Amino acid sequence: MAKQLLKGNEAIAEAAIRAGVQAYFGYPITPQTELLEYMARRMPELGRVFLQAESELAAINMVYGAACTGRRVMTSSSSPGVSLMQEGLSYIAASEVPCVIVDVMRGGPGLGNIAPAQGDYTQIVKGGGHGDYRMIVLAPATVQEAVDLTRLAFDLADKYRMIAVVLLDGSLGQMMEPAELPPFADGAALGTPPAWALTGAQGRPKNVVTSIHLVPEDEEQFNQQLQARYAEIARTEVRCHEYATADADLIVVGFGTAGRVAQTAVKQARAQGLKAGLLRPITLFPFPEQRLAELARQARGFLVVEMNAGQMVDDVRLAVSGQGRGGLTPAVRFYGRMGGIVPLPDEVLGALKALAETAGHTPQPSPVSCLPLDGGPVAR
């Protein structure tokens, strides 16, 4: 199929339709509303379910119910709306029913604004709801990648009986780019609901979808089961994009649009003789921590670029801590813009040059500080 000029939000909607989504529930919020509007048009055409919910709270619980039937279902929203969905996400994760969430992030906290941001990293990647759960998080940097990752999100959600999130910022949702849509998923392959699904107990014992385990030992065992699955995913489903990392001693790390901007900065840095490279995580959970640890052996410094106050940078620090030559930790610096401002390549280049000037070829010991009981920070 040829490439078409597609808007990010609409491309994701059509990709979801082609992945076989049977029901969409959502609530209007900028900058993702085109996704909902596209679904409002397209889903009834195909005889599938579209319903505008009375709130994000209702939308996520409609998704929860529909997901219990074993069909492919989804919702989309933007940061404040996703905050409202956190209760439902925790329940869905604990019930092990698969579904797909699209979060087109905007500026925050609070009502913030409708400009592009990446401030939902923590609430999505770490789990903004209660309890120890994880969601598979996929972060596209182009419209084409958004299309491809939407299909992957449904496949991974089904495979692991988990929530899969496509996490992008408002600029990517609003941007038009050439992209190629995949063919429709094989309907027959999606036709049979899985054995656990609620379909009416015809000729079989009843199925129950629940998230309650009243006996502490049962709840602990269930949690261990979830953790084992997350560990398996961490081993098998890590995806990232690398640019010029083979001989790089300065590594820029950024996801989504920030990673895309950073790649331009890395190209400029190379042209100026810096041995820079880019690692752009595509899966935020699972996080490419092993690859970062490998790069820590060759790098003298990492620059993390985000459209927030520094959220993913903590995970980069953890990944490279003590992983440099001689068990030391390379320098990790952060450059971020907030409020809905997308960093420019020149700004990233400036931060990269500053890193290049200060980060020694010999990695420094990692300062570990804590607040002792008698006051005053301690460094060792």
Q: Given the complex with another protein, which of 95 and 364 has the nearer CB atom? A: 95
CA distance 154 to 72: 7
Q: Between 86 and 283, whose beta carbon lies closer to another protein?
A: 86
12 or 97: whose CB is closer to another protein?
A: 97
Asked if omega into 28 is within 30° of 0 (cis), the reply is: no
Task: Indicate which single residue of 5, 111, 208, 378 sits in contact with another protein (rule: CB under 8 A).
Answer: 208
Q: Does 1 bind another protein (CB under 8 A)?
A: no
| 139 three-state secondary structure | coil
Is residue 209 a contact point for another protein (CB under 8 A)?
yes
Cα distances from 305 to residues 70, 251, 258, 354, in angstroms, run 39, 11, 6, 14
Q: In angstroms, rounded to a whole number, what is the distance separating the alpha carbons of residues 147 and 374? A: 54
Per rule CB under 8 A, is residue 16 in the interface with another protein? no
Stretch that binds another protein, among 61-69, 160-168, 286-294, 322-330 (CB under 8 A): 61-69
How many CB atoms lie under 10 A from the CB of residue 29?
Answer: 20
DSSP letter assigned to residue 341: P
341 binds another protein (CB under 8 A): no
Among the candidate windows 47-55, 254-262, 299-307, 322-330, which touches another protein by CB under 8 A? Answer: 47-55
Cross-strand pairs, 369? 379
Told to check if 156 binds another protein by CB under 8 A, we report: no
Q: Which of 61, 78, 79, 257 binds another protein (CB under 8 A)?
A: 61
Residue 119 contacts residue 311 (beta carbons within 8 Å): yes
Binding another protein (rule: CB under 8 A), the pick from 30, 37, 53, 298 is: 53
207 contacts another protein (rule: CB under 8 A)? yes
Selected binder of another protein within 65, 80, 194, 310 (CB under 8 A): 65
Distance in angstroms (rounded) separating the CA atoms of residues 309 and 352: 18
Q: Please provide the DSSP assignment of 154-182 as one string.
A: HHHHHHHTSEEEEEEEHHHHH-EEEE-PP
With contact defined as beta carbons under 8 Å apart, do 278 and 245 qualify? yes
Q: Is the peptide bond before 31 cis (omega within 30 degrees of 0)?
A: yes
Q: Please select the residue that binds another protein; options are 87, 155, 219, 242, rule is CB under 8 A.
A: 87
Among 25, 38, 133, 255, binds another protein (CB under 8 A): 25
Residues within window 89-108 making contact with another protein, judged by CB under 8 A: 91, 95
CB-nearer residue toward another protein: 51 or 328: 51
- Distance, in Å, from the CA atom of 248 to the CA atom of 239, rounded to the nearest integer, reads 20
Q: How far is the CB of 199 from another protein (least distance, A)?
A: 7
Q: Which residues of this chain interact with another protein, rule CB under 8 A?
A: 22-23, 25, 49, 51, 53-55, 57-59, 61-69, 71, 73, 87-88, 91, 95, 198-203, 206-212
